[in-house]
Amino acid sequence: MQPKIIFIVDGFDNTGEFQTVEDKYRSICGNWINKIYNENKQIWMNVVGRQIKFQAYQTITNFDKNKRYFYFCPIRNNENDIQKYFTILDRDMQKRFSENNVGIIFAEDLESVPMFNWDFFIKQLEWIYTVRDYSGFKNIKIYFTNNTKFVPEQENFIKFYFNNSIKFLFSPMFIEILRGTRLKQLPDFETVFDGYLKTEKRKQFLCLNLEPRFSRITMLHGLRAMNLLDQGYVSNLKPLHYAPNLIQNNSNYANVLKADMNTMFPEVKADEVTYNGSNNVNISFTMPTDLMNQSCYELLNETTSRYELGNVVDTANISEKTIKNLYYGRPFLMNSGPFSLKLLEDMGFKTFDWLFDQSYNNMLDNIDRQENIIKNIIRYKNNLNELQNKINDHKESLLHNHNHLMNFDLEDYWVKTLCED
Query: Which residues contact residue 126 at a Cβ distance below 8 angstroms, ignoring those fewer than 6 apart?
Result: none
Can you tell me the mean pLDDT for 367-379? 98
Residue 170 CB partners (closer than 8 Å, separation 6+): 145, 146, 147, 148, 149, 316, 318, 343
Q: Give dist(CA 123, CA 380) in Å, integer.
A: 46
Backbone torsions φ then ψ of 245, nearest 5 degrees: -70, -5
Nearest-angstrom CA–CA distance, 298 and 208: 9
Q: What is the mean pLDDT of residues 20-31?
A: 64
Q: How many CB atoms lie within 10 A of CB 309?
A: 15
Predicted pLDDT at 83? 67
Output the average pLDDT for the chain: 88
**pTM passes above 0.75:** yes
Task: Round to whole Å and give the CA distance between 341 and 330.
Answer: 14
Inter-residue contact 147 to 170 (CB < 8 Å): yes
Q: Could you give the CA distance from residue 262 to residue 264 in angstroms, rounded to a whole number?
A: 6
Tell me the average pLDDT across 224-240.
95
DSSP at 236: B
Other CB atoms closer than 10 Å to residue 373's CB: what's the count? 24
What does the pLDDT average to over 386-411? 97
Which bin fits 113, alpha (ψ -120 to 50), beta or left (φ > 0)?
A: beta
The H-or-E segment that residue 375 falls in is: helix 366-379
DSSP letter for each residue of 201-217? P-EEEEE---S--HHHH
Q: Where are the domains of the chain?
A: 5-171, 185-407
3-state DSSP call for residue 248?
Answer: coil
Q: How many CB atoms lie within 10 A of CB 32?
A: 15
Cβ proximity of 226 and 264 under 8 Å:
no
Residues 335 and 302 sit within 8 Å (Cβ to Cβ): yes
Order of all β-strands in the sheet with 203-207: 232-234, 203-207, 295-301, 332-335
Task: Indicate if the pLDDT at residue 205 is higher than 90.
Answer: yes
- For residue 217, pLDDT over 60 is answered with yes
Lowest-confidence pick of 122-131, 155-164, 266-275: 266-275
Identify whether the C-beta of residue 304 lies closer than 8 Å to the C-beta of residue 209. no
d(C-alpha 58, C-alpha 194), whole Å? 54
Q: What is the mean pLDDT of residues 214-236?
A: 96
Max mean pLDDT among 183-197, 265-279, 305-319, 330-344 falls in 330-344
Amino acid at 326: L
pLDDT tens digit sequence for 48-94: 999 999 999 999 999 999 999 999 988 765 545 666 677 667 778 88
pLDDT at 160 over 90: yes
End-to-end CA distance of the chain: 22
Burial of 43 (0-12, 13-18, 19+ CB in 10 A): buried
Cα–Cα distance for residue pair 75/135, rounded to 1 Å: 19
Percent of the residues in the chain that have a pLDDT greater than 90, as a whole number? 62
Closest CA to 333 of 233, 243, 204: 204
The C-alpha atoms of residue 372 and residue 142 are separated, in whole angstroms, by: 38
- What does the pLDDT read at residue 317? 86
